[in-house]
Structure formats: C-alpha cells, structure tokens
Amino acid sequence: MVDAEAIQEEQLTFDADLVEADIKPYYWVNQSNALINMRQNLSINERRLLYALVSLVQPEHKDFKTYTLQTKELAHLFGISETGFYERIREVVQGLNNKPLSIQRTENNKLVIDDIYWVQRASYKEGQIKIKLSEDLAQFLLNLKSYTKYQLYNVLQLRSEYSWRIYELLKEREPWHQRIIKVKELRNLLGIPDDKLKLMKNFRSVVLEKAKKEISEKTDIRFEYEVHKKIGRTIDSFIFYIYKNTNNIETNLSEEAIDYDIQLMLSRLVSNGVRREKAVEIIKKYHPKYIEDNLRYVMRMDNKALGNVAGYIVKAIENNYADVSYEVESNDNPLYKLAIGNVASRIKELTSKDIKELEELYDHFIMMIQKVNPETKADIDELVRERERVLFNKFDSINQYRIDNRLPPISESDLEKTKVIQLYKKWYENHIDEMPF
C-alpha cells in the first residue's frame, strides 16, 4: 500500500527550496571544463532545457534549487512553437535522463562506470514544470574554481547539437585562440557512433562546415580550421583558430543585459568581502572580463592560506595577478558607463532603505524594553530574545530578496556604523553556510 503521508512529506521537501524562475537570454552558463570535455549526445531541445537550468546556477552557489518554469516562456525562449510544447517537455526531461554522463574510474584495479543523471526530479502540471538538477552534477556546476562561461543567447539559436558542442569546446580555449583536437576524440565528445559519418567528406560537411557557418552567424565567436596532422592519408587531427565575433557581441548588448552583468559582478565582489564602494570603483575602472579572470584566479586558491581574501582580490585586480593579456580599461560603451552609475545608485538607495527599516525595528524594541519595570528581568530577557528573532527574520528577508534579484548582499561594511551591527554579525555566523556565495 502506498504511504500517502510519506509521499506528502517528500513533496514538501521537493517544494522547500522552490524558486520561481525567470530565464533571460543574457544569463550566463557556467560549467566546469571537465564537463565540457566529457562525451555527450543530447538532442538540441534537451540541451536547451538543461542549460536554461544551468544558467540559473552561479559557480559559487552551494546547492541546487528547485525551479518552477512556465512552459509558454520556455517555448518563447527556445524560439519554438508553443503548440504541443507542454506535452513535449516531459519527453525532453525523460530523454535527458536516458542519456546519462558515464564516468569511468578504477577501484581496486577494477573498472567502475558511474552513470550520472541530469535531472533529480521533475513535476508537471498544465503550463508549468517544477524541476531540479541532479545532485551528482554539483561537482561540475557548484563551487567551481576552473570553469568556462558563455551567455545563453549564443547557443539557444543553434539548430545543431554538434554546433553547440563545438562552440563549447572552442569557448573553453578562447583565451588561447586555438585548439587542437584529434578526430577520434572529437567524434567521441560529440557522441557520434562509429558507424555514422564515417567518410571524412561527410564528417566535414555535416559537422565542421555546418558548425563553422552557424557559430559565425549566431554566437560571440567564429573559427577557422585546417588539418593539423595526418597519419598516412588519414586525417588524425584538426587545429581550430578562435576569433571574437564582435558584430554579434554588439548586437546582443542591451541596457537590461548590461545591468545584469554589473549586478552580478558587484555581487561576486561584495560577497567575497570587498566593500561595496571599492567594488563600484573597480567596476568603473576595469573591463568586466579582466575583473572576472583575476577574481577567478583568486577563487582557485586556498582561501584559508590567503587570510584576507577581499584584500587579496583587490590586489589581484589592481596588479593583474592572472596575467590577463587583453584590454584592462573599462568598456567604452556609453550604455555600460551609464549602467554602472544607475546600478550603484539603486543598490545604495536599497541599502539605505534596508538600514532604516532595521534600525526602526531595533529602536522599537529599545523603547519597549525601557518601559518594562527593571525588576522584572524575565520580561526584559524575553524582549531581547524577541528583538533578536524579529531582526534575524528581517535579515533573512533582505538576504533572500537580494539573492532572488541577483543583487549584492547587505554586508558588515554596510552596517558597521549602525545600531544593528552586533546582531548582524551573530546572524551572519549562523547563516554563513546558507549564503549563495
């Protein structure tokens, strides 16, 4: 007999971390280089759904959430017809989990194959889907030190899964401007069976030439390629030359997308202890990619050994510890410069509002405590406990709003001159493991 209470308890657990997701084409996909370099054979719609979910995850996040997605919005995001999409979405999820990642390892001198599934759980009702990524994917998407990133718009328009995979493989090596790949390795990474596209002429036409054309037309990079090595008359490897696709980058710039990027970068700097004013100063001075690469350089290191992580991040950016070779100065796009000021003003205004509300709550309890007879110590102690509970709830609310809106968290430096600083420190110590970064 089915245990109804157990099912209900499981459902409550499933919904406990539920987030209403609103996916934008300019969201960033961050994934480990290890994942990029594993064999995959997903269909184009399976990849669209998977990486729409991945775009909701940041590399410093500590766990996965359960997302509610509207199927109508997904269809629009994917650029396909809404008709019948709700019925197809379940097939897409099932298709994902029918094609697990297979990882080979050795255990006691014996070969072990681990199958890792993409989706942990999905629930469907008319017009929407609740879905959570498999916890086994955490090693490839969470707490990342070395990863490749690209914006969703680059891949959602692609019609070939081969184009998507080649884009990722080249994007990983973009800073080095080239990549050499053996034909056998490339076929494996693209999930092409041995009995398909056996003739090099067909392989080049269906895979390489199509990818070259489609990637050039739709993404932020383009590539050329040539034979790198032959064994006899057989092509052993190709070398790919990777270039920025400036026209497409400019085409996809918008005020909304730039605002998002600035907020994200501010969040990453502030969450790692950089004072908000200093973070704004850095973003005004340096190019986003320059900041990103130097921040990533620090994040790969042992934070305990660094001591003052925030101070080291600032030094890394100011002295280019990552040895970034491209432009250092801030983006000259006027939209970008305008957005920095707008975002900084909005966050400053929001922080002032949050501080005012926190101090009003604190003053309310001070007033109540002053009205209590000093001899009734138990009543005073109860008010002190209640003040802590109410202020902690307010910190929770502020923190969640900022997480949901990808804004920098309120920090100790924001509150250091306020009445609530000691309560904040106590709250932060209790919640540090739950923080998104």
Q: Which tens digit of pLDDT belongs to each residue from 193-205?
A: 999 999 999 999 9
| Spatial CB neighbours of 307, under 8 Å, sequence gap ≥ 6 | none
Distance CA 71, CA 384 (A): 48
Per-residue pLDDT band at 3 (split at 50, 70, 90)? low
Segment 94-123, tens digit of pLDDT: 999 999 988 888 888 888 888 999 999 999
Please report the DSSP string for 102-115 in residue order. Answer: EEEEEETTEEEEEE
Residue 223 has phi, psi (to 5 degrees) of: -145, 155
H-assigned helices in 43-107: 44-54, 71-78, 85-97
Distance CA 36, CA 144 (A): 13
Query: Tell me, what amino acid is at 258?
Result: I
Per-residue pLDDT band at 1 (split at 50, 70, 90)? very low
Give the Å distances, CA to CA, from 69 to 3, 131, 258, 396, 436.
Answer: 29, 8, 24, 25, 21
Segment 369-414, tens digit of pLDDT: 888 776 777 788 889 999 999 999 999 999 888 877 778 888 888 9
Distance CA 269, CA 279 (A): 6
Tell which residue, 271, 416, 254, 282, has the closest CA to residue 344: 282
Residue 295 has phi, psi (to 5 degrees) of: -65, -45
CB atoms near residue 219 (< 10 Å): 25
Segment 210-250, tens digit of pLDDT: 999 999 999 999 999 999 999 999 999 999 999 998 878 77
The share of the chain scoring above pLDDT 90, in percent, equals: 45
200 and 192 Cβ atoms separated by less than 8 Å:
no
Distance CA 358, CA 365 (A): 11
Segment 316-349, tens digit of pLDDT: 999 998 887 655 555 566 677 777 888 888 889 9
pLDDT on residue 304 = 67
pLDDT on residue 239 = 96
The share of the chain scoring above pLDDT 70, in percent, equals: 90
Per-residue pLDDT band at 8 (split at 50, 70, 90)? very low
User: pTM score, two decimals?
Assistant: 0.78
Strand ordering across the sheet containing 234-244: 178-182, 234-244, 221-231
